[in-house]
Structure 1
Amino acid sequence: MPYTPPPELASLSLTEIAELVEAQKLPPVDQWDPQETGNSEMRIATDGTWYHQGEPIKRRAMVRAFSTILRQEADNSYALVTPYQKLSIEVEDAPFVAVEMENEGSGENRKLAFRLNTDHLVIADETHKLRFSSDHDNPRPYLHVRGGLEAVLARNVYYELAEMALADDLSPFGIWSHGAFFPIDRPE
């Protein structure tokens, strides 16, 4: 069956996005404990580009397929996991990039949904938290995707989110989504 990317988020209601999120079926990689291990010779760059043996993987369907079997290990390393094999993969920052955001409401009634560079959809809520790291020269916003895996928000998505937070002007400074509050260090 050929891969068809989801429609642009702007054309969907948050209810439709929630239905798509619910329909996403992922392999139970957290339940698999394969004995065969190795190195995938793959790397996910900071910008979300996937590489194999130093060359970018150009087929989006391949990246999407690999992303469904990605797992973060107890030692914070990453692996591609099947029932029979576990192959290490290097991740420079976060394995995903949130490239698009849809917003509904404002203040405490706000609801946010994100599309990742793999076309997976994630709704920011108590389970899928937004966090803002100050470990870098510039603030880096992250969204929990699943099982310890995170997406860094693309710069344009972060700016859009920051503008919403500034417009809400909450104290403490931050943003709500689906009943969960995410504090943000106020820009100076």
Structure 2
Amino acid sequence: MPETKPPPPDLAGLSLAEIAKLAEEQKLPPVESWNPAYCGESAMRIARDGTWYHEGAPIGRPAMVRLFSTILRREPDGSFVLVTPVEKLGIQVEDAPFVAVELRSEGEGAARRLAFRLNTGDLVLAGPDHPLRFERREDGAYPYLAVRRGLDALIARPVYYELANLAIAEGSTPAGLWSGGMFFPLEPAR
């Protein structure tokens, strides 16, 4: 299994340049190149709120969750698996496998950059490689951030409110924000 590192320092104390450097340094195993045989279900599930469970009990060690998150992969059929070079196990994901729990914004207008911390400690800078999007459902719109290789983060409600407040202050029509040179409307596409 890959080595785990302690979570990065608090976003509030970092510049976006420092956050970008930390995000680039995150080394992940090449799960997309591993193709072992499917071994069955893992008895694990990721709840909508980002809590990881094993056999019905929450996994209480953040380092274990971070470790498992590095070997998580989305299959072409939309299912999720935990994969190593020698085994592949199914894992149930209720919504998105990650939750964006903290936001850092720097700049204004088209020069703005948005950085997110995930519940796993990962750092993601929104932009062309990590776009923000909204899904319309019967009970409302749900905001997501593309994390990696088909894996998304649901943006937590308090973080979404921060984004909405920034967009209101910018006054763009439609309401939205720039990050990494890309404009993201804060509403679902029609």
Calculate the TM-score normalised by the size of structure 1.
Answer: 0.95
What is the total number of aligned residue pairs between the two structures? 186
Specify the alignment match of 2:25 in structure 1: 23
Specify the alignment match of 2:97 in structure 1: 95
* Mapped partners of 1:37, 1:106: distance in 2: 49
Specify the alignment match of 1:81 in structure 2: 83
**Can you list the C-alpha shifts for 1:21-47, whole angstroms capped at 9, x where unaligned?**
010000000111002421100000000
* Mapped partners of 2:138, 2:35: distance in 1: 35
Matches within 5 A, 1:1-188: 3-185=5-187
Identity across matched positions, percent: 60
- 1:110 partner amino acid: R
CA contact (8 A) 1:36 1:84 kept: no
1:62 CA displacement = 0.3
* Mapped partners of 1:12, 1:176: distance in 2: 20
1:2 CA displacement = 7.6
* Mapped partners of 1:3, 1:126: distance in 2: 27
**Can you list the C-alpha shifts for 1:72-114, whole angstroms capped at 9, x where unaligned?**
0000000000010000000000000000010001111110000
CA RMSD of aligned residues (A): 1.4
Structure 1: state its 5+ residue gaps: none
* Mapped partners of 1:185, 1:58: distance in 2: 35
Partner secondary structure for residue 137 of structure 2 = coil
CA contact (8 A) 2:52 2:58 kept: yes
CA contact (8 A) 2:4 2:66 kept: no
